[in-house]
Structure 1
Amino acid sequence: MDWLTRFPHMDDDTLRNLKKGIDDAFRAFTRAYGDSIEAFFDPLQFLLVESERLLTRTPWPVILLAIALIAWLASRNWRIVTGCIATLLLIGYFDMWEDTMKTISMIFVCTVLSIVIGIPVGIAMSRSDRLQSGINPVLDVMQTMPSFVYLIPVVMLLGIGKVPGLIAVVIYALPPMIRLTNLGIRLVDRDVLEAADAFGSSGWQKLKDVQMPLALPTIMAGINQTIMMALAMVVIASMIGVQGLGQPVLRAISNQYFTLGIFNGLAIVGIAIVFDRITQAYGKRLQRHLEIVHG
């Protein structure tokens, strides 16, 4: 009756050899191509370092004014602007300003990278059902894989540092950008597309002048979700060298510093709320504008 209690599985030696073979092959690949892969990501390292330097070295009143201006242009709502300013003032008052700027710089680069990758992939998916069927399982794996698992291959290839952490964050945060770009373009009214065809629009003109503008509110929701997921990875990415608010949280966990962890955790929540309110307000404004234009 032993076969009823033990699930039939691969022979132990065979399984051990299989795992060892895969590990050895990945190590060999890392030794052979690791330097070339690192060189490929040098521009990303430059962008990350320069954005961090800009935010940490710019005087705080200038940063505060710039974020308030962005919040106003996006929302035209004084309550949102006041909330953003109050949140950032509290973060600075509790001596978390520099770590916050490092985190914002990382989120900025991650979001830009996700937009650059996600929008073209989403557009391609919207044009081909076969491509969508092929990419959807990949996105499912990216979204459901435990975030710690992303760190293993990235660290083996690139070591400890900002770029490996950024890549892990992008892998985790990219799927909403792709999915919502695809969804937004697919939801464009067919009557509008037929009208564009009737006026003799080419495929590129139809995409640029009709589909992308109408899909923009949905794409903005994708950007919002990408930012939220990137912020959720901040603490985990700090384990492999990403500086910012995640490192004090990690230190608090290791040393049982309750207030250090709570304060920095609340700072991450504060940034998330600021980004969320700004992007949501801008998305709603776009939606209202499009309803007026096409209404």
Structure 2
Amino acid sequence: MYKLNELFAGFTIPANEWIQTTILWAVIHLRPVFLAIKWPVSNSLELLDQFLRGVPALITVVAIGLLAWRASGTRLAVWSIAGFLLIGFLGLWDMAMTTVAMVLTSVIFCVVIGVPIGILASRSSRLEKFIRPVLDAMQTTPTFVYLVPIVMLFGIGNVPAVIATIIVALPPTIRLTSLGLREVDEEMVEAGRAFGCTSMQLLREIQVPLAMPTIVTGINQSLMLSLSMVVIAALIGAGGLGLAVYSGINRLDVGVAATAGLAIVLIAIITDRIGQAFVNRHSNN
């Protein structure tokens, strides 16, 4: 044991230097690539943020109430309207809409990227085995670790925060899309083939509809992970409610931090209830 300790002391793998060198090389030589990645996220976020903050609050509250009513009925609609009215009366409406825009942008990209990858993984065991450790690493790596390379590659602000959020929130969508499609009854698939369905028709008409409850559950988990990143993202210059919480902590202002935290909790609860209601509806159908 003593000799092993001496070996550790005498030889260390300079992984930190390798990683730093790699990131610096990427910053210098791959800037156009990262600008291309940043462009769709930036435009989507700006469009959603301007839209949500530009729409009158009354219309937004009514729309949320209608969505909640459509998902689960009157009780959830009343609670959803009351929750967002409280956020408005706390003076946090604009910040809340920025936060919602960031979360929606993250979820949209999680769906656009994650669902196709999940479909491919459900059809290829080799691909599924390859991406499984990658997804494990994405889910288990502390979220703070993402922030330093994200800042170096993309800068600071809302857009880099959304990119970091996408990385954190993407795995559940991929995993549960693949799982849901793999769990579709093989007899249903064989019946579709017997009727002459092509692979695309099987996917669109049979597999995706039957797997939809599991897929929606994965999207809902990505939504919750996106909300959990709101406060952490404030460390790299993100706005919204996370910035209010972070500012309250820095100034030891319990009131500011608590009210912003309450708004985040309300948004999380309402969106989770609406998402779960849609999952239950798909399951019952």
**TM-score normalized with structure 2 length:** 0.95
Q: CA deviation at 1:35?
A: 4.5
Which of 55, 58, 75 is equivalent to 1:79? Answer: 75
- Contact kept, 8 Å, 2:41 with 2:163, in 1: the verdict is no
1:199, distance to aligned residue in structure 2 (A): 0.9
Residue from 84, 98, 119 that aligns with 2:115: 119
Query: After superposition, what is the alpha-carbon deviation per residue over 1:93-138, rounded to whole angstroms, capped at 9, x for unaligned?
Result: 1111111000001111111000000100000110011111111100
Partner of 2:39: 42
Mapped partners of 1:10, 1:35: distance in 2: 41
Query: Retained in 1: the 8 A contact 2:71–2:274?
Result: yes
Work out the CA distance in 2 between the residues paired with 1:284 and 1:36: 41
The aligned counterpart of 1:9 is 8
- Cα distance in 1, alignment partners of residues 85 and 26 from structure 2: 48
Match of 1:57 among 40, 54, 58: 54
Matching residue of 1:261: 257
2:278 aligned partner = 282
Amino acid at match of 2:246: L
Deviations 1:12-53 (A, max 9, x none): 5x645x543442342132022225422442232111111101
Report the TM-score when normalising by structure 1.
0.92
- CA deviation digits over 1:196-245, x for unaligned, max 9? 11111111111010000001111111111000000000001111121110
5+ long unaligned stretches in structure 1:
290-295
Aligned partners of 1:180 and 1:128: how far apart in 2?
A: 15
SS of equivalent to 1:256: coil
Distance 2:78 2:18 in 1: 58
Match of 1:179 among 175, 195, 199: 175
Partner of 1:66, secondary structure, is: helix
Query: In structure 1, what is the equivalent of residue 153 of structure 2?
Result: 157
**Which whole-Å CA distance do the structure 1 matches of 2:164 and 2:213 have between them?**
27
Q: 2:30 maps to which residue? A: 33
Compute the displacement of 1:70 (Å).
Answer: 1.5
Q: Decide which of 66, 71, 90 is 1:69's aligned counterpart.
A: 66
Give me the whole-angstrom Cα distance separating, in 2, the residues matched to 1:22 and 1:172. Answer: 20
- State how far apart, in whole Å, the 1-side matches of 2:236 and 2:32 are: 18
How far 1:166 moved relative to its partner?
Answer: 0.6
Aligned partners of 1:134, 1:72: CA distance in 2, in Å? 42
The structural deviation recorded for 1:2 is 4.2
Map Cα deviations across residues 150-188 of structure 1 (whole Å, 9 max, x no partner): 111111111112211111000000000001101111111
Q: Which range moved further: 135-144 or 158-167?
A: 158-167
Q: Can you list the C-alpha shifts for 1:240-281, whole angstroms capped at 9, x where unaligned? A: 121110001111111211121111111111101111111111
Do structure 1's residue 199 and structure 2's residue 198 form an aligned pair?
A: no
Separation in structure 2 between the aligned mates of residue 267 and residue 285 of structure 1, nearest angstrom: 27
Question: Equivalences for 1:141-156 in 2 at 5 Å?
Answer: 141-156=137-152
Give distance in 2, aligned partners of 1:241 and 1:28: 24
Query: Mean alpha-carbon deviation: is it higher for 202-211 or for 65-74?
Result: 65-74
Question: What is the percentage of aligned positions where both structures have the same residue?
Answer: 43
* Aligned-pair CA distance for 1:191: 1.4
CA distance in 1, matches of 2:23, 2:74: 54
Residue aligning to 2:237? 241
The count of corresponding residues between Structure 1 and Structure 2 is 285
AA partner of residue 144 (structure 1): T
Supply the AA of the counterpart residue of 2:3.
Answer: W
Residue ranges of structure 2 left out of the alignment (5+ in a row): none
